């Protein structure tokens, strides 16, 4: 059965590459700025956040469609406004954040929102378009911000199910989970966002599973402990397909869980080799990816996945 999630949240949709994250209770911190028809992966709020009442979609009112004169200007022409200052941690470029948000098109149509679902959305800052990543890392927990994002600022990063439009985001930063990473020798390293995959295939240094699935580590966990058949594996993933020389992101911010026995296709071969907090990029040959992500069809699938258990 394909590993799919219901569709209702979306800021996580051009946005993922989380890696070895820790619970918010172990987090650390940094400084401040201030963002269309509904399909985006559900990202479940961490249990430490209290569920709030759902807000009816029709009661959400569009923000100003043009930024005020005092709105700051960021990379790529993104305009932003800090509506409420926060006082908590700031995320780093690869940390995981939890937000409540709404996304509007440039003509005021609501594209996606977490508010009608009664729970916020989590995703990795590393999966944001670079023109947005720098702005998000300036926010502190508790901040409320508004971003006016021109279409061209998402060039190469816009998921297929996002509107082809200028976009406006309203978001509340609720939680930050800091990532800690080590190299293969166990030395602490400064994590940086991994680059998006290309169409060249796995590098020669890629490891191979029992049946020949190739994968590389994007981040290593601090502690090396392999999963058992009883472990519930929480997955946070991005999915890409290769069309000729193009790589297209088909899903992002996928948040779900499985076990080694229930993992679809040959995914368990790789998951069984990972420690809690590892993040890998997996290449699945043509025809094998559809068992995991139905949108892959007969195309080659590249899956960036973070596992915790």
Q: Where are the beta strands (DSSP E) in 18-134?
A: 72-73, 79-84, 96-105, 110-113, 121-124
Q: Supply 46's token pair.
A: 């961490």
Mean pLDDT for 233-253 is: 89
Enclosing domain of residue 33: 11-177
3-state class (DSSP) for residue 164 = coil
Mean pLDDT for 195-218 is: 86
Q: pLDDT at residue 274 above 60?
A: yes
Mean pLDDT, the chain, integer: 78
Mean pLDDT for 137-147 is: 94
Higher-pLDDT residue of 116, 190: 116
State the sign of the Cα–Cα–Cα–Cα dihedral 115, 35, 150, 15: negative
Asked if residue 168 and residue 22 are part of one domain, the reply reads yes
Q: How many domains does the chain have?
A: 2
pLDDT in the model for residue 44? 34
Nearest to 147 by CA among 89, 91, 86, 68: 68
pLDDT in the model for residue 126? 77
Q: 158, 177, 196: which is the final residue of a domain?
A: 177
The least confident of 43-47, 84-88, 91-95, 242-246 is 43-47
Mean pLDDT for 54-60 is: 90
Mean pLDDT for 276-296 is: 90
> How far, in Å, CA of 69 to CA of 71, rounded?
6
Q: What DSSP state is assigned to residue 119?
A: S
pLDDT in the model for residue 23? 30
Is 136 among the domain residues? yes
pTM summary value: 0.53
Asked if residue 119 and residue 74 are part of one domain, the reply reads yes
The answer to whether 167 and 149 are in contact (CB under 8 A) is: yes
Q: pLDDT at residue 11 above 50?
A: no
Is 128 among the domain residues? yes
Burial 5-44 (b: 16+ CB within 10 A, else e): beebbbbbbbbbbbbbbbebeebeeeeebbbbebbbbbbb
Q: Supply 110's token pair.
A: 């609501």
The least confident of 41-50, 107-116, 124-133 is 41-50
pLDDT in the model for residue 124? 82
Q: pLDDT at residue 125 above 70?
A: yes
pLDDT in the model for residue 40? 32
CATH code for position 22: 3.10.50.40
CA dist 153 → 100, 147, 214 (Å): 22, 12, 33
Asked if residue 126 and residue 42 are part of one domain, the reply reads yes
Q: Among residues of the chain, what percentage have pLDDT more than 70?
A: 77
The answer to whether 110 and 57 are in contact (CB under 8 A) is: yes
24 pLDDT tier (thresholds 50, 70, 90): very low
pLDDT in tens, 75-120: 888 999 999 999 999 998 878 899 999 999 999 999 999 999 888 8
- Name, in order, each residue with C-beta under 8 angstroms of 262's C-beta and a sequence gap of 6 or more: none
Asked if residue 86 and residue 16 are part of one domain, the reply reads yes
29 pLDDT tier (thresholds 50, 70, 90): very low
Is 4 among the domain residues? no
276 pLDDT tier (thresholds 50, 70, 90): confident
> How far, in Å, CA of 234 to CA of 163, rounded?
29
Q: Supply 153's token pair.
A: 């600022």
Asked if residue 197 and residue 156 are part of one domain, the reply reads no
Asked if residue 203 and residue 231 are part of one domain, the reply reads yes
Q: 147, 177, 207: which is the final residue of a domain?
A: 177
> How far, in Å, CA of 302 to CA of 300, rounded?
7
> How far, in Å, CA of 194 to CA of 171, rounded?
24
Q: Where are the beta strands (DSSP E) in 201-289?
A: 207-208, 214-219, 233-243, 246-258, 279-284
């Amino acid at each position: 059965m394909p590993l799919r999630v219901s569709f209702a949240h979306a800021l996580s949709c051009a946005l993922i590459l989380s890696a070895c994250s820790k619970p918010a209770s172990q987090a650390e911190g940094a400084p401040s700025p201030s963002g269309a028809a509904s399909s985006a992966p559900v990202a479940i709020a961490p249990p430490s956040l209290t569920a709030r009442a759902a807000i009816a979609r029709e009661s959400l009112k569009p923000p100003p469609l043009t930024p005020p004169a005092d709105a700051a200007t960021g990379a790529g022409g993104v305009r932003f406004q800090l509506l409420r200052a926060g006082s908590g941690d700031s995320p780093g470029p690869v940390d995981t954040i939890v937000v409540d948000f709404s996304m509007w098109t440039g003509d005021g149509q609501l594209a996606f929102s977490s508010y009608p679902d009664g729970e916020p959305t989590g995703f990795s800052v590393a999966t944001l378009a670079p023109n947005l990543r720098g702005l998000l890392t300036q926010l502190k927990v508790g901040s409320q911000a508004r971003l006016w994002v021109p279409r061209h600022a998402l060039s190469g990063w816009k998921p297929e199910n996002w509107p082809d439009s200028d976009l406006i985001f309203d978001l509340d930063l609720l939680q930050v989970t800091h990532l800690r990473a080590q190299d293969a020798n166990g030395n602490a390293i400064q994590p940086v966002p991994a680059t998006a995959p290309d169409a060249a295939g796995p590098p020669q240094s890629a490891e191979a599973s029992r049946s020949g699935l190739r994968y590389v580590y994007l981040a290593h966990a601090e502690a090396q402990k392999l999963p058992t058949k009883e472990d519930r594996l929480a997955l946070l993933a991005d999915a890409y397909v290769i069309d000729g020389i193009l790589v297209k992101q088909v899903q992002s911010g996928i948040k779900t869980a499985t076990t080694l026995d229930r993992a679809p296709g040959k995914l368990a071969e790789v998951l069984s080799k990972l420690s809690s907090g590892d993040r890998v990029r997996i290449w699945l040959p043509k025809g094998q990816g559809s068992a995991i992500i139905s949108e892959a069809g007969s195309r080659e699938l590249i899956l960036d996945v973070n596992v915790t258990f």
